[in-house]
Amino acid sequence: MSVMAIKSIAPRLLVWAAMVAPLAAQNPAQVIFAESFRRGATRVTEESFEVKLDPRNSHYRELIKDLRGNDRYEFTIVPKGPEGDNKITSWHVRLRDLHHTIYDNILRAAQEPSSDPNNNLWWLNPDGFAPVPVYAQRIIQVDSFYVVIQVKAYHFTPLDSPYLDSMVVEVKFSDTDPRSQK
């Protein structure tokens, strides 16, 4: 192919790529399932909520009740960023059993850190190199209940920056496997 032919095709390819890229982004969210290292019979009071995070409201905390109505778990979302900086690059989701506080996050598939996506469903990271795609629906079985986490939106400021200025997260606690409801 001649240089002239390549030069005439290149602009058309750029236009085509600009039209196709948004369509790829509209694909339904990937569903990733993992089982927590915690196994047990505890069930929870089912609930759903949406969390809107930004630098001013960067932390979230909710007490999750067991079936008897007692506070049993502490659900938190906390910001993460460069050490010594107040900028946010991602958020970490944690679930802590108030009766067994030795474990800081029972949303992990294994207690040891790893790059395995199933062990990183708690990390809400929009970086293109993150182990879990940011819009993936994360389903984690803990004891005898399920935690569903899904990022619905996020925004960088400025747009080409790695720093987040907002993220919207949908959370659901259910005693029924959400995969069977589809």
User: How confident is the model over 154-172, as pLDDT tens digits?
Assistant: 999 899 999 999 999 999 9
pLDDT at 182: 61
**pLDDT tens string 23-50:** 344 446 799 999 999 999 999 999 999 9
SS3 state at 93: strand
Flag residues of the chain having pLDDT under 50: 3, 5-6, 10-27
pTM (predicted TM-score): 0.83
b/e code 155-182 from CB counts within 10 Å (16+ = b): eeeeeeeeebbebebebbbbeeeeeeee
